[in-house]
A and B are shown apart, each in its own frame.
Chain A
Amino acid sequence: MSQKTKMAPKPDPQSASIVSAVDATALFSMDPFFHILKIVPYSFLRPPRLRLKLPSFSLPSAMTVFSLILLTYFLVVSGFIYDVIVEPPGIGSTQDPVTGAVRPVVFLPGRVNGQYIIEGLSSGFMFVLGGIGIVLLDLALDKNRARSIKVSYSIAGIFSIVIAYVMTLLFVRIKIPGYLR
């Protein structure tokens, strides 16, 4: 059986710098530069008394990272990179052959791999809404909450999933006319 030692060396720069500052002034030092510095500027210059702290770096919590990831997922899935490179218009337009009026077209017709910006963002929002719905359902089953909150979470979760699924299917049916036929 291999060893399972778990060691996590975490350098702590803040306390180390304070400790070393105390050490440098209190103990005898072999450092030649220190002796030179003691004479040349610092015999007539006095360093001011400051209370400086190195910024401490702590890892963010798991749920913070999760919300950042959700935002990134929204961008990727709504075709943001496609928007940046191909630069489609925000919304398309077509001219009505009879009246000559210009009507907006939301979904780029004809191709599977093409979109306008707004249709991408709205579809991405639907996907994230569906995902959040499932998360709400799981939160609703957590034991340590008040019952009313659990009920409202579960209702919100179910609604989110249903709306997201129905809207997504609607979008796909509009975009690809022959879907499921």
Chain B
Amino acid sequence: MATVTNTPVSDLLKSFKLKTKQQELLIRVSILCLVYILAFIIRLFSVLRYESMIHEFDPYFNYRTTLYLTQNGFYDFWNWFDYESWYPLGRIIGGTLYPGLMVTAVLIYRILHFLRFAVHIREVCVLTAPFFASNTTLVAYFFGKEIWDTGAGLVAAILIAICPGYISRSVAGSYDNEGVAIFALLFTFYLFVKAVNTGSLAWSLASAFGYFYMVSAWGGYVFIINLIPLYVLVLLITGRYSMRLYIAYNCMYVLGMLLAMQIRFVGFQHVQSGEHMAAMGVFFLMQVFYFLDWVKHMLSDTKLFQAFLRITVTCAVAVGTIALGLGMLSGYISPWTGRFYSLLDPTYAKDHIPIIASVSEHQPTAWSSFMFDYHILLFLFPAGLYFCFKRLSDATIFIVMYGLTSMYFAGVMVRLILVATPAVCLISAIAVSATVKNLTVLLRSKNKGVLTGSTKGSSSSKASSKALLDQSQPFQKNGAIALLFGAFYLLSKYATHCTWVTSEAYSSPSIVLAARGAHGNRVIFDDYREAYFWLRQNTPADAKVMSWWDYGYQITAMGNRTVIVDNNTWNNTHIATVGRAMSSYEDEAIEIMRSLDVDYVLVVFGGVTGYSSDDINKFLWMVRIGGGVFPVIKEPDYLVNGEYRVDKGAAPKMLNCLMYKLCYYRFGEMLTEYGKPPGYDRARGVEIGNKDIKLEHLEEAFTTSNWIVRIYKVKPPNNRW
């Protein structure tokens, strides 16, 4: 018998003892808080190793536009015509970008300033992506709760917090559209599934606003506007038409379409572009379904209704096809653009659009990329699909479709592994949650005498089978405990893998290079920023810089100088002109450069350091893109027996073209490696062919300390003939 002590301490302790429901709530909230913090801090590797800076190429453009937005306000930003890029064409920035990211960052900046935290806008930009990654984990929790149950939601939040597929594009410093867009994508999907499940008008309108945020953030919104109609179509085919679906889809489509047209870059594409026609078709199909339902409700005669049904369906399909055909023939509805068409037909880009084919992120995915980015989620994904198929509902059908379509696209293009990550995490979470639930049910089952297997028993043998069952129960319990430990082991290996991958592979700011020195110490190459700063300080303010399009954004943002082409790649002919200049002899190239008013030429060269992403390795793409527009440039001229060489056996056109001369100027006297002759190119591993280079129309202006970036000045024409 327990003795009851009436001390005030024990009374106090008893008042703190929580009921089970409150305990569960406490555990859930604390797990979510920890996951939120974890998702933020795992992305901070590069900030701790280097400094708080913007990575890569595209984020520099976003940073520059955000800076402009903070300095000049929204209306100037929205109507901005930039004369500092794509000289002499300029670029209408207000109409050719997705403003969601910049507006979000500036909003956070203003809130922090209102609270009297005087941070610089760069810090806000660097940390925007990890902040939104943390928010994505919360959305994943609610989404998992909607699809399956709270356990699956918690596991989904944990998995997506550290999944390398998401981390790769949302580290601190990667200030790019995807960081915000994945949050918007998952949020829109969550709101839409909630709307379909509840049939409430409020949730449908909220999903329309979520869609608007997604449209403002990323060009990948096309995925949403095609997946949701496909999902509605699948529901209609499997006979799950309901009033909830009708309300949800109609509200989301109409309001979402109207809101999306507010973004100038999108414009009227929702009614004019072939990529958006599926949504409109399904919208009209839903009206037909509703109409048929209403007629069936009014009619009492089944045979008449069948006849009416056949006529209506035939008419609707015919009218729709005719309308679509008319639209496409008259040119009002534009066909699928090359970027998205190459997702449906992956061989298209290789043959027709070299610019898209040249980007390394657009290559198809090999198994090791999948393994790197997903680890054990690749095992859990099919298992999760099985559980979803076992318990089919509107929500699980959605997540299955999202998972399958996004996995297919992830197989087509490496970059799209990012879009598949939330679906893979959610489905894997379902597998984990269902398996663990099964095992714990086994653990907690008491000896109630439940017959689990033997059906051969009559009432007299029930006793013996019960005894058999009692014998196997502890074995089952031990087995379940062992399997739970196994599951725990696998998940901990996943966490180790994710942390290792993030630390080694995804935390490098591509603008600062690191390598291991001879004694294992870390050597940092900061050549890019050195060169851009030199440009900023030592060239006249209206100087124009010609370089390959990769570096355009960085030159404009950090060097503050006008560039000829940049990463936007909206004008293929302009890029081809630069490519032609780089691959011609110096005399032809100087004509092109004078016509473009070029003052400085910038090239990237990795021969001294062994840096392999330099312009000589990218040179064949310059030839291909240039040759695509100017047939003067022929790719076989630069190859020897189909092989690309820079040593003595290289083609004469290769040895004398502008790019070769600019990269290897004075390199022939340079000793790069012990035991190798001077002029040994460490990136290609050969001794260069043409060591005695003389430049006639250009002179060397600046070479960085490790020879990575080289800047040349275009000499003015001679005074006298």
Q: Residues on A close to B: CB < 8 A?
A: 2-13, 15-16, 19-20, 23, 59, 62-63, 65-66, 69-70, 72-73, 76-82, 84-86, 112-115, 119-120, 123-124, 127-128, 130-135, 137-138, 141, 143, 145-147, 150, 154, 158, 161, 164-165, 168, 171-172, 175-176, 178-180
Contact = CB atoms under 8 A, between A and B. Distances in A.
Interface string B368-401: 1111100010111111011101101000000010
B383 A8 contact: no
27 contacts: A2-B198, A4-B199, A4-B243, A6-B242, A7-B296, A9-B241, A10-B239, A11-B306, A15-B306, A16-B310, A20-B307, A62-B390, A70-B385, A76-B407, A77-B407, A81-B412, A82-B366, A85-B364, A113-B369, A115-B368, A127-B382, A130-B379, A138-B434, A150-B453, A154-B479, A158-B483, A176-B368
Closest 3 CB pairs of A and B: A131-B382, A130-B379, A147-B453
Nearest to A74: B382
Nearest to A145: B453
A62 B379 contact: no
A134 B368 contact: no
Contacts of A5: 242-243
A66 B385 contact: yes
A123 B369 CA distance: 12
A55 B297 CA distance: 28
Nearest to A9: B292
A28 B199 CA distance: 47
Contacts of B368: 112-115, 123, 172, 175-176
Contacts of B296: 7, 9
B363 A86 contact: yes
B266 interface: no
* Chain B, interface residues (CB within 8 Å), range: 35 or more
Interface centre among A7, A72, A124 (most CB of B within 10 A): A7
B200 interface: yes
Question: How would you classify the secondary structure of chain A's contact residues: helix, strand, loop or mixed?
Answer: helix
Contacts of B372: 112, 176
Contact of A135 (B313, B382, B452): B382
A13 B310 CA distance: 8
Given A79-B367, A123-B371, A73 B313 contact: no
Interface centre among B238, B366, B389, B390 (most CB of A within 10 A): B366
Nearest to B360: A113
A138 B241 contact: no
A77 B367 contact: yes
A176 B366 CA distance: 13
Nearest to B241: A8
B547 to A, nearest CB: 26
B242 A2 contact: no
Contacts of A133: 379
Contacts of A73: 381-382, 385, 404, 407
Contacts of B289: 9
A128 B242 contact: no
Contact of B241 (A7, A137, A178): A7
Nearest to A130: B379
Given A10-B239, A13-B310, A79-B370, 18 more contacts: A2-B247, A5-B242, A8-B239, A11-B309, A19-B306, A63-B389, A69-B404, A70-B385, A77-B367, A79-B411, A81-B346, A85-B347, A86-B363, A112-B505, A114-B366, A145-B453, A147-B472, A161-B379
A132 B386 CA distance: 9
B359 interface: no
A113 B376 contact: no
Contact of B379 (A134, A145, A158): A134
Contacts of A79: 364-367, 370, 411
Contacts of B490: 165
Contacts, number: 196
B293 interface: yes
A81 B413 CA distance: 9
A85 B453 CA distance: 51
Nearest to B441: A141
A79 B479 CA distance: 36
Contacts of A115: 366-368
A24 B198 CA distance: 46
A135 B386 CA distance: 7
B379 A165 contact: yes
B544 interface: no
A8 B293 CA distance: 8
Interface string B346-366: 110010000000000001111
Contacts of A86: 363-364
Contacts of B454: 146-147
A2 B244 contact: yes
B332 interface: no
Contacts of A150: 453
Contacts of A62: 389-390, 392
Interface string B447-460: 00000111100000
Nearest to B236: A8
A113 B365 CA distance: 6
A19 B303 contact: yes
B309 A9 contact: yes
Interface centre among A15, A16, A86 (most CB of B within 10 A): A16
Contacts of A59: 237-238
Nearest to B480: A141
A147 B367 contact: no
Contact of B389 (A9, A65, A77): A65
A85 B347 CA distance: 6
A174 B93 CA distance: 47
B491 interface: no
Given A131-B379, A138-B387, A158-B483, A81 B365 contact: yes
Interface in B185-223: 198-201
Contacts of A4: 199, 242-244
A32 B183 CA distance: 62
Contacts of B505: 112
A120 B367 contact: yes
Nearest to A11: B309
A119 B369 CA distance: 13
B572 interface: no
Contacts of A85: 346-347, 350, 364
B50 interface: no
Interface centre among A8, A81, A130, A138 (most CB of B within 10 A): A81
Contacts of B371: 123, 168, 171-172
Interface string B287-312: 00100110010000001001101100
A77 B370 contact: yes
A154 B370 CA distance: 28
B338 to A, nearest CB: 16
Contacts of B244: 2, 4
Nearest to B371: A172
Contacts of B366: 79, 82, 112-115, 120
B112 to A, nearest CB: 38
Interface centre among B242, B379, B404 (most CB of A within 10 A): B379
Interface string B240-255: 1111100100000000
B81 interface: no
Contacts of A12: 306
A147 B471 CA distance: 13
A137 B303 contact: no
A85 to B, nearest CB: 5
